[in-house]
Amino acid sequence: MTSPRKPYPSDVSDEEWALVAPYLTLLPEEAGQREHCLREVFNGLRYIIKTGAPWRWMPNDLPPWAAVYQQAQRWLNAGCFEELAHDL
């Protein structure tokens, strides 16, 4: 496990994560296909959205930009954000 990093202002709070995690979990934690913590991947996506930075400028202490981008595409294709917005 890596050492904890300093939080970014764009990081999801515990309360926000409790709300969005059920919508973003496409595979169970036990599936073993996850290389990066799902919350950190979501934090990476929020960083890009909040800062407007290009994908390749993802900070090194967040998951690699390609992993965040690929997971964001999976969430978009699965309709995760639409379902969350609808339920809100």
Profile the chain (88 residues) by mean pLDDT over runs of 10 residues. 79 95 80 81 96 96 96 94 91
For helices 14-24 and 38-51, give the axis angle rounded to 10 degrees.
Answer: 110
pTM of the predicted protein model? 0.86
Residue 39 is which amino acid?
R
The confidence score (pLDDT) of residue 7 equals 94
DSSP designation for 12: P
What's the CA gap between 83 and 20, in Å, rounded? 10
Give the model's pLDDT for residue 26: 79
| Cβ neighbours of residue 86 closer than 8 Å, sequence gap 6 or more | none
Look at phi and psi of residue 51 and say left if phi exceeds 0, alpha if psi is from -120 to 50, else beta. alpha
**Residue carrying the six token digits 């919350």:** 39
